[in-house]
Amino acid sequence: MSVTARGVLALPCSTLADMLSNCAHFQKLVKAANAAAALGSIYEWGQQPAPTRPFALVSSELYDPQLLAGGSRDWYQPLGSLKAQFEIPLAWSGVNTSTSATVFDVTEFVGLDDDFFNGLEFYVTSGAHKEEHGTVGDFAGTQGRVTLSAPLTGNLAPGDAVEIRPATDKDGWTWFFNVLGDIVSDLQALSGTGGCLSLRRMKLQEYGRALKETEATDWIGAILEMEYGL
């Protein structure tokens, strides 16, 4: 990857935003086709308009930008601290494109990691089998293919709406931090390379579950704190 230059005294927040936009798992989270599209879901604290979920907010408590006149650094020097706040949905919705009581392809889920939904609850939200549910036994991201642990009472029809979500709050937090853990791994891989900030002491802190905006959708969030260097 390469980070877009923003001037010799660019704020670290801008570089962190560029790094996040290049994280494959963040792109999947916000359903972005590339880094440029993902950047549209990353906001700096206080930026208007209000963020559209899912999103990341970046902010800095302390920064000390330095002028670099060429050369490279392969060592780390703490220059300050950064934060990234995330909100992601607990419920993931899509439309079935196959006819089966056990295996379904959902276009909206294509491109997510294999096993992304394994162990979560599957619900039918429209069609002849509305309100039936089961557990996801396996998920294949290439096709967006959901395989249930046990069949429903009959085949779903193409166009039936479906939803996947954790069955309990405990499962929700576990799954949520697994999702963010993948993003942290991406950041660690980018750290200190190609003009990226060197990130250290990344610490994920939960800050709560967001209020429901509609009857069937709620959100969960956390703050990632880190030190940075150049």
Do 104 and 217 fall within a single domain? no
| pLDDT at residue 218 in the model | 79
Whether 126 shows a pLDDT value over 90: the answer reads: yes
| pLDDT at residue 220 in the model | 87
Q: Of 6-10, 105-109, 183-187, 195-199, which range is least confident?
A: 6-10
Do 72 and 176 fall within a single domain? yes
Whether 5 shows a pLDDT value over 50: the answer reads: no
Q: Which residues of 169-179 are buried (b: 16+ CB within 10 A; e: fewer)?
A: eeebbebbeeb
Whether 112 shows a pLDDT value over 70: the answer reads: yes
Do 54 and 113 fall within a single domain? no
Range of the domain at 85: 12-89+171-229
| pLDDT at residue 46 in the model | 74
Mean pLDDT of the chain: 84
Q: Is residue 2 part of a domain?
A: no
Q: Is residue 153 part of a domain?
A: yes
Smallest CA-to-CA distance from 208 within 165, 176, 164 is with: 176
Of 130, 165, 200, which closes a domain? 165
Of 172 and 140, which is predicted with more confidence? 140
Whether 67 shows a pLDDT value over 50: the answer reads: no
- Predicted TM-score of the model (pTM): 0.82
Do 82 and 99 fall within a single domain? no
Do 154 and 96 fall within a single domain? yes
Do 85 and 178 fall within a single domain? yes
DSSP state for residue 156 in the 8-state scheme? P
Whether 102 shows a pLDDT value over 70: the answer reads: yes
Q: Supply the CATH number for residue 184's domain.
A: 3.30.980
Q: Is residue 156 part of a domain?
A: yes
Do 48 and 152 fall within a single domain? no
Domain count, the chain: 2
pLDDT, tens digit (0-9, with 9 covering 90-100), for 165-202: 998 888 988 889 899 999 999 999 999 888 888 898 89
| pLDDT at residue 80 in the model | 80
Confidence band, pLDDT 50/70/90 cuts, at residue 207: confident
Do 184 and 225 fall within a single domain? yes
Do 78 and 176 fall within a single domain? yes
Do 221 and 117 fall within a single domain? no
Region 118-135: mean pLDDT is 94
Q: Supply the CATH number for residue 137's domain.
A: 2.40.10.190
Of 148, 165, 182, which closes a domain? 165
Of 205 and 130, which is predicted with more confidence? 130
Whether 95 shows a pLDDT value over 70: the answer reads: yes
Confidence band, pLDDT 50/70/90 cuts, at residue 211: low
Q: Are 139 and 115 in contact (CB under 8 A)?
A: yes
| pLDDT at residue 169 in the model | 85
| pLDDT at residue 228 in the model | 86
Do 33 and 99 fall within a single domain? no
C-alpha distances in angstroms, 131 versus 15, 149, 205, 229? 45, 17, 34, 51
Of 145, 165, 185, which closes a domain? 165
Q: Is residue 5 part of a domain?
A: no
Angle between helices 169-190 and 12-21 (to 10 degrees): 110
